[in-house]
Structure 1
């Protein structure tokens, strides 16, 4: 759910070094943060295939922040290599939860890669990807999106589960190098912070328009079995329009309503009914799948290792 780590090399060494020095000075003298606990909320939902349906909403909410939108617009390869970009981002997210000792290393890798992302946003303000406010917002978006999407794709969280989810999400933030002082520490503190960002910062950036549009050119997937790729390329002009409409439908529909309203994204009662019908099918069928189909490979392997270690 972080901005892509493939980008051009435009850099301001003096500013980058200043950020690095501040990182060093502000580093908490704490032990390496551990990932969320096995069998916690995130252990159950982050690697579930339904998480793939939630990620576009979280990404759109991230890049609605002017600094993040500008960074992704200028540095990301999401236009030229969307499938590779998505695969790398998904692997990173899964490592935060299921990576064990690799989780903290992945967090350090991301911070290092983001040190060269800087520029000027749409409001004329200088930004750097590791500035505390935008860096924390990128991570913060996961909590409201998980909470909202779960109401359609699974069972709504109880108050206790929601509180546990937030505590685990804070733990993931520590893996990513987000200081506790830069993130609300309880759900009660989160919502005023969230509403303030919606009101004061978010806008319909160029990247949000692309992610919620249906006419952006998207190359065919270059992953998957070799025999299938030529067929996909041949059929892609026919497959892309309905896929783009479905992506827009899920991106806007699984975004929290107050975020949709802040960005001026349209959502009709008819679309809401369609999303509820789609959610009913998903939350009925997915729990019936065997684990090898329900969980993404990295998550499935971690869960299997954990079960084996307990035996």
Structure 2
């Protein structure tokens, strides 16, 4: 299932929700607050994270190397969270939570952006997500090994750990200060520099809308994020458009570059 899901352009719409759930954990939020370049280089950081995720699924032998690189990168990430508690990025419970968020976000977003998963598909997706976790160095003992075991674990983290951290507030801010994107061809960079004062607040509102909307309801409640009935109706209308348009796109537009190359190679 991940062979199709993880490379689909709709993945881009779901990542902010997963990231926000991750940094709602005080230890993870503190690590990002203290060590990440998400404020100074959000576009580069996002591009690197997306490429890494793609390698987990489509990287072949390179997937394991990427997993080792990530663990090495996180070895030096440590400090004290907002409650005065020591944290280390590779503490099994924290590292596992970051990975675990992908499953409920995939599941929830699919209700809007695709066809809801069947029970059998949910089980398969979770099994594949566990396999990806092993690539990242997450031990089986640190992740629930079945869907039935996952939901009590997930609810326990929501009930006892998550909160509206400083980084959460920044990610869902209505008026964030975002640097002009510096990726893409020259003509695009010039266009963005000229139009960014107009585009930035609109992009920020759209990002906030998708971040909160595609997050599972129980996670929104645990973090304390508001979501209205009117916003829910807007998200459902947006989802209907996405479901109609994306499946008929040609492969070069529907799949992200790493996934597209892997799919072409698999066909020989």
Same fold? TM cut 0.5: yes
Provide the rounded CA distance (Å) in 2 between the counterparts of 1:281 and 1:216: 27
Displacement of 1:122 in angstroms is 1.4
Q: How many residues align?
A: 268
SS at match of 1:119: strand
- What's the TM-score once normalised by structure 1's chain length? 0.86
Provide the rounded CA distance (Å) in 1 between the counterparts of 2:128 and 2:166: 32
Equivalent in the alignment of 2:191: 231
Provide the rounded CA distance (Å) in 2 between the counterparts of 1:140 and 1:204: 19
Question: Are positions 1:292 and 2:238 aligned together?
Answer: no
Question: Are positions 1:212 and 2:169 aligned together?
Answer: no
Displacement of 1:155 in angstroms is 0.4
Equivalent in the alignment of 2:150: 190
SS at match of 1:227: helix
SS at match of 2:186: coil
Provide the rounded CA distance (Å) in 2 between the counterparts of 1:176 and 1:133: 14
- What's the TM-score once normalised by structure 2's chain length? 0.99
Provide the rounded CA distance (Å) in 1 between the counterparts of 2:256 and 2:227: 30
Provide the rounded CA distance (Å) in 1 between the counterparts of 2:127 and 2:82: 33
Question: Are positions 1:144 and 2:144 aligned together?
Answer: no
Equivalent in the alignment of 1:37: none
Provide the rounded CA distance (Å) in 2 between the counterparts of 1:228 and 1:91: 21
Displacement of 1:73 in angstroms is 0.3
Higher-Rg member (1/2)? 1
Question: Are positions 1:172 and 2:132 aligned together?
Answer: yes
SS at match of 1:214: coil
Equivalent in the alignment of 1:29: none
Q: Which of residues 63, 77, 80 in structure 1 aligns to 2:23?
A: 63
Equivalent in the alignment of 1:123: 83
Displacement of 1:231 in angstroms is 2.3
Displacement of 1:229 in angstroms is 1.4
Q: Deviations over 1:202-253 (max 9, x none)?
A: 0000000011112221001101111221221121010001100000000000
Equivalent in the alignment of 2:67: 107
Runs (5+) with no aligned partner, structure 2: none
Displacement of 1:123 in angstroms is 1.7
RMSD of the TM alignment (CA)? 0.6
Question: Are positions 1:54 and 2:11 aligned together?
Answer: no
Equivalent in the alignment of 1:82: 42
Q: Deviations over 1:159-181 (max 9, x none)?
A: 00000000000000000000000
Find runs of 4+ consecutive structure 1 residues off by over 3 angstroms: none
Provide the rounded CA distance (Å) in 1 between the counterparts of 2:256 and 2:218: 30
Provide the rounded CA distance (Å) in 1 between the counterparts of 2:134 and 2:102: 14
Q: Deviations over 1:122-150 (max 9, x none)?
A: 12110000000000000000000000000
Q: Which of residues 265, 269, 275 in structure 1 aligns to 2:229?
A: 269
The structure with the greater share of residues assigned to helix is: 2
